Each structure stands twice: as structure tokens, then as C-alpha cells.
Amino acid sequence: MTTKRPEAETVSFRIENRIAWVKFNRPEKRNCMSPSINRRMLEVLDELEFHVGVGVLILTGEGTAWSAGMDLQEYFRETEAKGLVGTRKAQREAYTWWRRLRNYQKPTIAMVNGWCFGGGYGPLFACDLAFAAEEAQFGLSEINWGILPGGGATKVAVDLMSMRDAMFHAMTGEPISGKTAAAWKLVNEAVPLAQLQARVEEVANILLKKNPFALKATKDAVRRVKEMTYENAEDYLIRAQEAANSFDNEGRKEGIRQFLDEKSYKPGTGTYDTTKQKPKV
């Protein structure tokens, strides 16, 4: 038996070069999600969401796991012992931070360094992009201990994978490698673990050069239009751009100016220099 880690230490984070590195920090429990880690994660996300020094958030795990899913002891057994109120409270604590992450102001990247099971698919899906170690293992292991993949996990599988892959994944509970997760579109890419951080940093640095208002509008648009008809999407996108303009109407003008007048970059192959724009909070 290990001593219980204080709630404040269940998540660690540091900010470096405008990247917030947020870690599930219960390596001794393979970063499974207890009520404590869920509450702490929401506090950390709150603290970082509008932090001026943060341009991208990367979610990863300490030790050998990204997250071994929900904590079967503290999230299931102990909360169920408190009855319906215990169960609902625990669900809300988890779902609230996943929802916050799905709608996060800053771009987010899941850096899946190891085990990723069940409930872990909630935050995995919530992150805009996901990169995995080839050596990582992903699984909808719920069926292995006698439940269906709840908490959104079935939805995540069906949204990201083909129906056949999602069905196989959910019904067999067999883990798949990071490489297969990439082939099944659960993550963007898989690279050897030794290269994972460098690759994720490279992608984060691409995002850091973009106009942050346009990035937020873009990531929201990608999620929203998926469930819309073409007509509704067309209408939504017009309005979303107009709404984005109310926060930053100068960025796109500067982007056009640098291409047409200054001829300093080509939008087809690069990004305009956002530092030449008047700073906006």
C-alpha cells in the first residue's frame, strides 16, 4: 500500500517558452483518475486558460502511464458506497474538466507517453491534437471488468475511428499500440517514445506562431461543424468569423498587408509575423 498523494500534488505543471506542460502526477497509480486528480486538474486548467504567458497547453503523464482511466477504487468503489450523490458528484468532477478542455481557449495537445485506458479517452478526445509514443498502449478495457465504455469513451471511439475498429476495440478490450492508434485515427501521429517530446514541441511551436484568436475560432469550428448540415455549417462559419473579428479585427488585415504590400511571406507556405501586430490581450 502506498500513502495517498496530497490532492494538490496529483497534477503538476510548468510553463516554458509559452508552453504549459501539464502532467497527470500519480505515477504510482498509473495516473488513474480519482476524484482528487479530477478536482485538481480543473483548478490547474482554470489557472492556465487565460494566463498571458501560455500559448499552448500539453497534457501528458508522469511515469509509464498517460492515464490508466478511472480509478476503480476511489472513483468507482468509494463513491458508489456513498450512493447516487457520490456517483453523480464524482462524474461531474471528471466531466467538468474534460468539457473545459474540449472548449479550452488555448490550443491543446495530448502527449500520450504510455498507458491510456477507458476514461482516459475523455481528455484524449478533449485535446485538439494527440501524439503518442509508438510504445504506448490504448484500450477500451471496460469490457474486461464487466461494464460498457461510458463517460463518453464509446462516443470518442465512434467519432474518431471507423465503426468496425470502434466495435472491435470496445468488444474485445484488447489494447492497441500507439502505432495502431495512429492508423485507427485515435491520435494524429505515433513516434518512438524517445522522439515524442521533441515532435510535440515542434508542433506546439508551429501553433505558437499563429494568430491566437484565429486558432480558437478554428478549433471550435472544426468541432462544431462536424455535426451540422452543410447549410448550417456555412452559416455558422460566417458568424464565427464575424464574432472572431470583434476580438481581433487587425490580425487578418496585417496578414494580408504582409503578403500583398510587404511581400514578406506567402500564406500558402507560411504564417504572417504576428509580432508586427499591435499586442492585444
Q: Decide whether 73 or 264 has the Cβ nearer to ligand ACO.
A: 73
Contact predicate 204/58, CB 8 Å: yes
To ligand ACO, the closest distance from the beta carbon of 44 in angstroms equals 20
Q: Decide whether 129 or 170 has the Cβ nearer to ligand ACO.
A: 170
Q: Is 240 exposed, middle or buried (0-12, 13-18, 19+ CB in 10 A)?
A: middle
Q: How far is CA 19 from CA 25, 43, 214, 241, 261, in A?
A: 18, 18, 18, 26, 32
Q: How far apart are CA 241 and CA 253, in angstroms?
A: 13
Query: Per the structure block, which three cell numbers stand in for 272?
Result: 504572417
Q: Decide whether 115 or 131 has the Cβ nearer to ligand ACO.
A: 115
Residue of closest CB approach to ligand ACO = 118
Q: Decide whether 32 or 136 has the Cβ nearer to ligand ACO.
A: 32
Q: Decide whether 117 or 184 has the Cβ nearer to ligand ACO.
A: 117
To ligand ACO, the closest distance from the beta carbon of 29 in angstroms equals 4
Provide the binding-site residues for ligand ACO, judged by CB under 6 A. 1-2, 29-30, 32, 64-65, 68-73, 115, 117-119, 141-142, 151
To ligand ACO, the closest distance from the beta carbon of 73 in angstroms equals 5
Q: Decide whether 32 or 181 has the Cβ nearer to ligand ACO.
A: 32
To ligand ACO, the closest distance from the beta carbon of 123 in angstroms equals 11
To ligand ACO, the closest distance from the beta carbon of 65 in angstroms equals 6
To ligand ACO, the closest distance from the beta carbon of 236 in angstroms equals 33
